Amino acid sequence: MRSRANIAYALLIVLVLESCCFERTLCSNVTYDHRALVIDGKRRVLQSGSIHYPRSTPEVWPELIRKSKEGGLDVIETYVFWNYHEPVKGQYNFEGRFDLVKFVKTVQEAGLFVHLRIGPYACAEWNYGGFPMWLHFIPGIQFRTTNAPFKEEMQRFLGKIVNLMKEEKLFASQGGPIILAQVENEYGDVEWAYGVGGELYVKWAAETAVSLNTSVPWVMCSQEDAPDPIINTCNGFYCDGFTPNSPTKPIIWTENYSGWFLSFGYAIPYRPVEDLAFAVARFFETGGTFQNYYMYFGGTNFGRTAGGPLIATSYDYDAPLDEYGFIRQPKWGHLRDLHKAIKLCEEYLISSDPVHQQLGVNLEAHIYYKPSNECAAFLANYDSHSDANVTFNGNLYHLPAWSVSILPDCKNVIFNTAKVVAQRNIGDHSFSRKTNFNEMLLVSSAWSWHIEEVGVSGNNSFTVPGLLEQINTTKDTSDYLWYTTSINVSGEEKEAVLNIESLGHAALVFVNKKLVAFGYGNHDFANFSINKKISLKEGNNTLDLLSMMVGVQNFGPWFDIAEAGIFLVALIGSKNGKTDLSSGEWTYQVGVEGEYLGLNKVSLANSSLWTHGSILPVNKSLIWYKATFSAPDGKGPLVLNLASMGKGQAWVNGQSIGRYWPAYLSPSTGCTENCDYRGTHYSSTCQKGCGQPAQTLYHIPRSWVHPGKNLLVLYEELGGDPSKISVQTRTGQDICSFVSEADPPAADSWKPNSQFVSQVPEVRLTCEQGWKITSVNFASYGTTEGNCGTFSPGTCHADVLSIVEKACIDQVECSIPVSSANLGDACPGLLKTLAIEAHCSE
């Protein structure tokens, strides 16, 4: 009896655990085979998206994750950022935006999995690639090679994060959401530079990761020589041709670039959703089972977190969720429909390897079979120019160029990557249409200011012979380093050319305390030269150079020892020739006066250091500005429009919202109004905003402001006009959709063995949460002309405004079938489109 009781009790425990695991998709055993990750004994097809927790705030994490789940994601992927978790050796920070445990638990609460990329090297366009600066100063250290001091620190931090996750029971085997972990990051791209030391380091990193006993698989991305059992994975714009280094490993895509990062002085890169969807469909078509969007939400490089050189504050990345967390359409919606279509094929994808069938030149099919011989198929036209008609299983299919059609029953097309039926946003970005935001201008009378003296100040300077390298001098405690010397002139020659050479990233030049030049590099070439004709006076002249960093380098071989700052200063005279000032005596100061005074702090808001008067100084360098503002009503994020400013940094209530540089314009050429999605995409294939600043709007999280007065502080380096600055918040959105009778019905309307061809396509409209459709501005069924925002009735036009208003007004979402039976037929025999423009607001 006792034995039977024990057996019954044990069975009860097992049943309870199985129930827990089934209901919450937790308590999982995660392994892999050649086809997929295997979770609790079942292969899984998984859609993943990157969201970096410090690039947003904890208050909006749940909404970002909710929108990701609604977009069809199964997994959230994030890096871990060592430099902010351990800013001082042995002193840890897991608070606020850096509360990693809270972020992982928030994902878990939404019912999604986590891929934790511990690294600890991140790259990620993050300052110093995520490495803490103190690491650089450990004697004898060499990063990312078989170096004992580095390996000791890396192993310690890996262990710290793994143990933290274990303590919080966040690995899958503990009932947590973490199903994958990553060690190192894209090391294969630079391994050649490290020789044998690099090869040994890869083996050591793999062994160290496995020894931590996470109970989940480890991956190394872009690492062809990843040792077993580490899975080597693919990063890139396309991964349909990727093969792992072992036939026992699944095909995993860790970084599928949804767009590209933004740099000061560059045009804004973007990636058409038709190409992105094509890449994803091709990946699953050819055998992939796990893909991750880098990024699904990019967010903001608050403070000095942006990497270098010259990475912008916005990390929008043209992601499905924009920098502020709003849904970017049609990217989000088209990918959601793609995910639905792939999910309908999952049982086929996990049941077999694909069977390839050539359908013509640049035309092919991949078929997946169940044991029952039922099948799902992907039909691809990878020609970048020509559409095609193909015959498959006795049926004729039209395939636009550079597209994939998905047939979950080997018969009915439920999705084509080139046919976008998802709704679209009207306007280039969330704050591009004045009808959709409230704006408060900070006029001249609102401002106070503090003008800095040129050169070193106070007791914070030191003098040494020669020019010092900037990073080793500042230890990245400030963007700024003053270089000061004197030039003694005697005789007739008082004009010369001042030659300055810098490794980056920018510098202001003052002669006798007057600004005479400004030089700067760019993201690809941070170094720059200044050659400026100057006039000197008899006797002693002062030369003050303010060298400025714009993010510490985060990528490349041996990037950790990349240098910055001024390395040559010379005078070139017509009579005296070249006089090298580099080896003379130089006085240095790390940081600028206002940083030492703490002018960005709330505690000094009422200090006598600030001046207030009737005439606001504008277009002046080295000046601090201060104003207060009341946050516009609402719950959404705010933006600060700094288009009128030059270059500097900004703080709201003491929190740094990042660096700004609107004065740096992108090249005037290289952009295309309508970028053709067909053909291989690169980071610079599609660009917009030529001849404009890379960024003028700066994100203020709603949680950083409060009722009443809020403090805004700017440090302006070049010169600008703060009286033209405004604070904005979004109050609505303009949306549109156009769907033709020939478009496929919605993917989620397909059911096995259903008469899918008899169903009709639909226009579906949805507002952001909290808004409803308050007006319909255009509605036509026929041969509509123009694009979203510029629609006009064509020669065939049925006015369906009343039908659309009845279905949509005061609704968060609505759908209208696209058929003559529903909308009337103004022109029988012609292919017709339903086009709608609507406005959402409170």
Active site residues: 186, 255
Q: Is 55 helix (H, G, I), strand (E, B) or coil?
A: helix
Token pair, residue 78, equals 């994030």
β-pair partners for 624: 450, 715
Written in H, E and C, the secondary structure of 164-233 is HHHHCCCEHHHCCCEEEEEECCCHHHCHHHHHHHHHHHHHHHHHHHHHCCCCCCEEEECCCCCCCCCEEE
CA distances to 224, 229, 328 from 32, in Å: 18, 10, 34
Burial of 210 (0-12, 13-18, 19+ CB in 10 A): middle
Q: Around Cβ 598, how many Cβ atoms within 10 Å?
A: 13
Q: Is 643 helix (H, G, I), strand (E, B) or coil?
A: coil
β-pair partners for 171: 178
Among 65, 100, 61, which residue's Cα sits nearest to residue 80? 100
Among 582, 503, 496, 490, which residue's Cα sits nearest to residue 308? 503
Burial of 440 (0-12, 13-18, 19+ CB in 10 A): middle
Question: Please, what sign has the CA dihedral across residues 462, 468, 470, 475?
Answer: negative
Strand order, beta sheet including 528-535: 528-535, 495-502, 566-573, 577-580
Look at phi and psi of residue 176 and say left if phi exceeds 0, alpha if psi is from -120 to 50, else beta. Answer: beta
β pairing state of 566-573 and 495-502: antiparallel
> What is the Cα–Cα distance from 795 to 715, expressed in whole angstroms?
57
> What is the Cα–Cα distance from 16 to 11, expressed in whole angstroms?
9
What's the distance, Cα to Cα, between the start and end of the chain in Å? 67
